[in-house]
Amino acid sequence: MGQRKKRTFTAEQKSEAVRLYHVVGNYAQVGRDLDLHPNVLRGWVKQAAVDAGEGPAEALTTAEKAEIRALKRDLKRVRMERDFLKKAAAFFAREESSRSSS
């Protein structure tokens, strides 16, 4: 049997699943009802608690995780731009030195 294609869920779907868990109180039952693995639901419940300020002090909120993702993406872009500029500068320096020696 093949693996199921990775599904994505909206914030509203996740919060509704968390709310349903708090009503029912059973990960396995809510997981079956929503066709989710209980561990996925457990992660959502844990993250909802962190976002509500009820988690461990060192835990990152969803907003903080999104900001870190954006910063990493920006850093990657800036590094690529820097590397491109370094290569371009080296190229033009070689061109200039070959012109001056001719």
Q: Which two tokens stand for residue 89?
A: 């500068």
Nearest to 27 by CA among 17, 37, 38: 38
Q: How far is CA 75 from CA 38, 43, 55, 66, in A?
A: 35, 28, 29, 14
Summarize the confidence of residues 58-71 as an average pLDDT: 96
Task: For residue 1, name the pLDDT band (cuts at 50, 70, 90).
Answer: low
Sequence-separated (6 or more) residues with CB below 8 Å from residue 62:
47, 50, 51
Q: Identify the weakest region by mean pLDDT among 4-8, 61-65, 80-84, 97-101.
A: 97-101
Give the pLDDT confidence score for residue 4 in this predicted structure: 77
pTM: 0.69
Give per-residue pLDDT as tens, 27-46.
999 999 999 999 999 999 99
